[in-house]
Amino acid sequence: MDIHPRRHQHPGLRHALWAACGTAVVLYVFFAALGAFEPAEVIELTVAVVLLSALLLTHEWREQFRDERR
């Protein structure tokens, strides 16, 4: 019995959300590398991207080993 019945209703939407998060992180790094802004000047954005990347890495780490737990 699945204790989370809503988890499998829209798997494409869930993947699209995580892809959008990854895209935001990559765009931040791209524009910072181009010199469009200085990460120290936009400290709030920098902190938000670091937290977002940590969430993304945690999600990917859990997904990597999800099949092994079943």
Let me know: does 24 contact 49? Beta carbons within 8 Å. yes
pLDDT at 53: 95
pLDDT at 8: 62
pLDDT at 4 over 80: no
- Tokens 């989370």 locate to 4
pLDDT at 70 over 70: no
pLDDT at 6: 59
Could you report the per-residue pLDDT of 18-58, keeping only the tens digit for each? 999 999 999 999 999 999 999 999 999 999 999 999 999 99
Q: Is 28 exposed, middle or buried (0-12, 13-18, 19+ CB in 10 A)?
A: buried
pLDDT at 61 over 60: yes
